Amino acid sequence: MDFVYHDVVPLGVVPYPAKGQENQESPNQNLRGMKMKLPLLIAKHSDRLVKAGIDQGLAEVEIILCHLLDVDRLKLYLDGEKQLQQQHLVQLEEIVQRRATRYPLQYILGEAWFYGRCFSVSPAVMVPTPETEMLCEAAMGFIRSREYKKPRILDIGAGSGVISVTLANEIQDCSITAVDISDEALEIARQNASKLGGEEKIEFLRSDFFSTVDANNGFDLILSNPPYISEDEYRELPPEVLADPKISLVADDDGLGAIASIIDAAPNYLAPGGRIMLEIGYNQADRVSLLTEKDDRFRYITILKDLNDIDRVVILACDD
């Protein structure tokens, strides 16, 4: 078996805000009749967030204001002389106060950006991360390198649908099966597909990994961002990450249980020439490699590094 390591190219997609904390304040305190132009408001709340430990406090305040005013960042500053209405001042205070508890801004706003699209999210699904965008890039690169007329793709643990919806929009013609054990997550994924496009290409299916997936389908690509954090690592996570559903984060066998289960079953659902792509933890590449070395069904493994030079995506093949 050959082991190949590649560096990943920067994706150039929308970045994610940082995280932090703040002291509690009454959101309505001294707001009645308050007048403050946008630059001063931005500076005030940015300073509050930075002092609370949020490295990118300015970016977070910009995101909040763009959300409240329904404008982009450029428009926000072009209207710099504008004064916020009372309702917006109150909402801004409420959001900053909630964010100060280290609760994810994405859950507060009910939305998260992924690969240039604004997805609806709730505490029933993980907040998507840039690392998973890398998984999508790898998937699209593989599909485009083959002359598939209509590739069949299986997304295991679909969550909010960021992977499936992204691929459905970026790949001209494909058939995607998106599975998740959570009915609430599947409903959010359906809403995102309806809102962002690609709905007609995706079948949403309740399944615990492969439990209700038809083995006769023969998928050209099976991919997943599975839970891969150990219980010990979980206890050390920042509050923002702890707000994610634990079932989406933690796996048994020191974080390798879900990955091992997928690797064991996936070849039975793979079409000839197909690939398995998994997001993995920072310290799991060697252990995943050992799993495949013990399984003679696998021909080779490729490991992709993220922008921080950390092993992040594993690609498995059972044939050429």
Each residue's pLDDT, cut to its tens digit, for the chain (320 residues) gives 443 333 333 333 333 344 444 344 444 444 443 457 788 889 999 888 888 878 888 999 999 999 999 999 899 888 767 778 899 999 999 999 889 888 999 999 999 999 999 999 999 999 999 999 999 999 999 999 998 999 999 999 999 999 999 999 999 999 999 999 999 999 999 999 999 999 999 999 999 999 999 988 899 999 999 999 999 999 999 999 999 999 999 999 999 999 999 999 999 999 999 999 999 999 999 999 999 999 999 999 999 999 999 999 999 999 87
**Residue ranges of domains in the chain, CATH in brackets:** 2-12+123-317 (3.40.50.150), 20-101 (no CATH)
The distance in angstroms from the start CA to the end CA of the chain is 12
Q: Is the pTM of this model over 0.75?
A: yes
Q: Are strands 311-317 and 219-224 parallel, antiparallel or unpaired?
A: unpaired
Helix ranges, the chain (H): 38-51, 57-69, 73-78, 86-99, 105-109, 130-145, 162-170, 183-196, 231-234, 239-242, 246-249, 257-265, 285-293
| Helices 130-145/162-170 angle, 10° precision | 40
Return d(Cα 230, Cα 253) in angstroms, integer: 8
State which amino acid sits at residue 254. D
Task: Give how far the C-alpha of residue 81 lies from the chain's centroid of Cα atoms, to the nearest Å.
Answer: 36
